[in-house]
Amino acid sequence: MIHRAVSSNNEGAVTDAEVKAEATARESTRGVAVIAIAKGWFLLTGFAQPLVLTRLLLGEGYGLYGVVLNVISILNNVVVAGSIQAMSHAVTEGGVAALRKGLLIHAALGLSLAGALVAGADLLGAGVLHDARLPPLLRLGAVIVADYSVYAALVGALNGRRRFRAQAGLDITFATLRTGLVLGLASTSLRVTGAIAGFAIASFVILLVALALHRNELRASAAVDASTGAFARSYARFFAPVLVYQFALNLVLQADLLVMKAVLSRREGVDEAAINTLAGVYKAVQNFAFLPYQLLLAVTFVVFPVVSKSTLEGDREATASFVRGAMRFSALGLGAMLAVLGGMPRGVLRLAYRPPFDQGAPVLRWLSLAQGAFALSVIGTTIVLAAGRTAAATALMATMLVAVFVGNVVGLVASPADLTALTHTALGTLFGCLVGLGIVSAYVRRSFGGFLSVPTAARVMTGALGAGALGAWVPWPGKIGTLLGAGVIALVYVGLLVVMGELSSGELRRIRRVLVRR
């Protein structure tokens, strides 16, 4: 047997660093793939909800539901993402012994947030948002917030141990359960109340399922003799800043609808039902505009543990390489989505909705661009967060939040209370997200040695504009035509990337080698 020495002096020799990078790339790519599949199912079942709910609740009812859902989602998403990242970090460092003590912290957090929402429902619903129908619905939604806090911690434990398949399985189960219960109860006489109640029941059931999945770990960790107080202090040092970061992130993501309702509802002579109908149209547009962020969210789940581990090991070169690869991968996928959403917005909306919801087509162009910029920014700030720089990540997201809020308010001040207000709101969100992306890009590039390269960004933008222009120019009649057009636009986009040299045959072979098990 001939032994081949691994040496930098031997041409063609494979170094330990290269082997490690290849293994990390393979594991990370598979992790992204399996979570992306789960997120795809989550989005597919999620789109079944507005498809039916807009028909059951109509414009005004869906607007009311959308406002409640955005309020709940801001708290929910703060708890979910913050809990997943914090528990992932704790389990990465402390193993399954951290799970039991972490769950106690999350149970207390969930009860505190739910209690605050119940107590503040009148002030927020009838006061800030100026709608007397909101308080009881917000109180019902508090059940969801409490359940999510513990459930997300359990998902985070799976993420920290890189059990991506189990994490994806929970996502798929919950998406199916939630969709069935929301639509089932919304079809009764309860309507909006029934839809929110269905969500609450689904969140409680999936919590029980997640607890059952962890029963062996919970029993094993119960015997560990460690200071709960010391753990709580250490955990809080990481978790508290993450919560602040996630709160700012989710306000950027969803608060524009709430700002619009709060501003327009206070105008004299404006009909409340008309405002809720406008809110319903904007919420319908958001459902599609969120696609770039929701699909690229799978990248953040893998970026966090990988960057966290490489920074703990002090491997700056591996971190920089991974950051550049993750940003490029994300930008390539993002370009395809924006080409479709920007090229045929009315057709996309008509896949799921009937009039008047398709009137939001011009808004979808601007809001999808905003969410694309936001998605890249979130990947960037997740990298910062994974490196332990929670204060910096929070400051970056807070800066974007201020820019979005200013853009929304300035846009709405001079806007009439009609469809124009939706466009002005979306443009304000786009302004803030572009400002945020520029600042995040500069920080990550300086701190980690890379972000998204200018040539790649230029080629992605050119490809998306070219493919989107084709979608806008060619008529695509009916839903079948829209689906066909979306496929054509995506293929044209990929073709343009190949022509411009962004995608090569060698790279395609490398992707295949990473994906195939050896």
pLDDT in tens, 355-365: 889 899 999 99
Q: What crossing angle do the helices spanning 134-160 and 164-186 adopt, rounded to 10°?
A: 160
Least confident range from 101-110, 342-351, 405-414, 491-500: namely 101-110
Residue 135 lies in a domain: yes
d(CA 404, CA 87): 30
- DSSP H helices, 95-227, are 97-121, 134-160, 164-186, 192-213, 215-221
Give me the pLDDT at residue 430, please.
97
Give me the pLDDT at residue 9, please.
47
Which of 199, 476, 479 lies closest to 352, judged by CA?
479
Which residues, including other chains, have CB under 8 Å from residue 457's CB and lie 6 or more apart?
Answer: 331
Q: Is the pLDDT of residue 13 over 60?
A: no
Give me the pLDDT at residue 320, please.
73
Residue 359 DSSP one-character state: G
Residue 10 lies in a domain: no
Q: Is the pLDDT of residue 141 over 70?
A: yes
Residue 8 lies in a domain: no
Answer yes or no: are the C-beta atoms of 172 and 117 closer than 8 Å.
no
Give me the pLDDT at residue 7, please.
42
Average pLDDT value for residue range 495-507: 84
The residue to which tokens 């057009």 are assigned: 485
Q: Which is more confidently placed, 204 or 351? A: 204
Residue 409 lies in a domain: yes
Residue 2 lies in a domain: no
Answer yes or no: are the C-beta atoms of 465 and 340 closer than 8 Å.
no
Q: Which is more confidently placed, 476 or 69? A: 69
Which residues, including other chains, have CB under 8 Å from residue 269's CB and lie 6 or more apart?
Answer: none
Instruction: Dump pLDDT digits (tens) for 401-442.
Output: 999 999 999 999 989 989 999 999 999 999 999 999 999 999
d(CA 51, CA 346): 15
Residue 327 lies in a domain: yes
Residue type at 293 in one-letter notation: Y
Average pLDDT value for residue range 503-513: 66
Instruction: Dump pLDDT digits (tens) for 160-190.
Output: 777 778 888 888 999 999 999 999 999 999 9
Residue 124 DSSP one-character state: I
The C-alpha angle with vertex 458 and arms to 457 and 461, in degrees rounded to 5, equals 85
- Is the Cα torsion angle 52, 55, 56, 58 positive or negative in sign? positive
Domain that holds residue 256: 18-515
Which pTM was predicted?
Answer: 0.81
Average pLDDT value for residue range 219-237: 65
Which residues, including other chains, have CB under 8 Å from residue 475's CB and lie 6 or more apart?
Answer: 481
pLDDT-derived band at 102 (thresholds 50, 70, 90) equals: confident
Q: Is the pLDDT of residue 75 over 80?
A: yes
Token representation of residue 151: 């459930």
Task: Report how many domains make up the chain.
Answer: 1
